[in-house]
Amino acid sequence: MTARAEFPVWGTTAVVLVTDPADLRVATTLLRAELAAVDDACSRFRPDSELARLPRGHAVEVSPLLAEALAVALRAAQLTQGLVDPTVGGALHGHGYDRDFAAVPADDPRPAEIRRVRGYHRVLLQDHKVLIPHNVEIDLGATAKALAADRAARAIAERVGGGVLVSLGGDLSVAGAAPEGGWQIAVGDDHRTADRAPWARVALGAGGLATSSTTRRTWRRAGRQVHHVIDPRTGRSAEVVWRTVSVAAKSCVDANTASTAAIVLGAQAPAWLADRRLPALLVAGDGAVLTVGDWPARDRVVA
């Protein structure tokens, strides 16, 4: 028997499940604390966050949490050769995503301002010291949410000793001993698809699973629909080849890194994922479904 709690956060929903209902209160408290700490360190929208207050142009020491978040983001950029790049903040700003998404105008008559993505290699990080150039705006949205899920799941499992699943807007991380048969998860680009499609129900026993989408967090600029996944090569919203890409990996961070890169890669994504032996589910713009590698069939546990 498992127990579940959920609450709104960051414009989405945080969910925690534990294998022992007696652990739910502690798990929820730990999850809230982890999310608050990540927001304090990494938010692009809060002027009082540590990231927002960082001086530019010279090396400064940062907190261990922000150093970890930056290291994770830079690793994602290196692994994807810049397809997932934390220096897309300026491009997102130019598209109008410069505040909490709920406050972004749904239909702005002004055209998007296309801004060059300066590139992750300009950010220097050594131990707890970071140097961010004056013309670089950092956005950790592609990795910080997944990192929060991994950190929270691990911390809860260590505290309570049982199994735990943490989901932040559908980005999942599990730790500890999973229930018999694994955590049963519906995966799809909408709830109806996930509920009715056998290929979209999986059992997750370890690691993480993440879904990136071009149908959520969308808005219009000068009559043209844009979305939040920026192609660093162009400074524009990535071309919509896939509505959603879901990836299973050893951690939520790795899964999210791969699913975001796949959205940016478009038609090249299946081969890229296959080369890296990452099980994935891709849903095309017309609803066509493609699976890559050993995408978990129903009731198969991801090891």
pLDDT-derived band at 299, boundaries 50, 70, 90: very low
Look at residue 194 and tell me whether its pLDDT is greater than 50: no
- Over residues 260-264, the mean pLDDT reads 98
- In 3D, which of 291, 231, 219 has the Cα closest to residue 263? 231
Q: What is the pLDDT of residue 190?
A: 53
* Lowest pLDDT segment from 90-94, 130-134, 195-199: 195-199
- Over residues 258-273, the mean pLDDT reads 98
pLDDT one-digit tens code per residue, 24-60: 999 999 999 999 999 999 999 999 999 999 999 999 9
Domain boundaries, the chain: 3-302
Please, how many CA atoms are within 13 Å of residue 39, restricted to the half-sphere of its CB?
A: 12
Per-residue tokens: 274: 């296959």
Q: What is the pLDDT of residue 203?
A: 86
Q: What is the pLDDT of residue 303?
A: 33
DSSP string, 201-238: EEEE-SEEEEEEESSSSEEEETTEEEES-EETTTTEEP
pLDDT-derived band at 189, boundaries 50, 70, 90: low
Per-residue tokens: 120: 């992750």
pLDDT-derived band at 199, boundaries 50, 70, 90: low
- Over residues 153-176, the mean pLDDT reads 96
- Is domain 3-302 classified as CATH 3.10.520.10? yes
Q: What is the pLDDT of residue 294?
A: 86
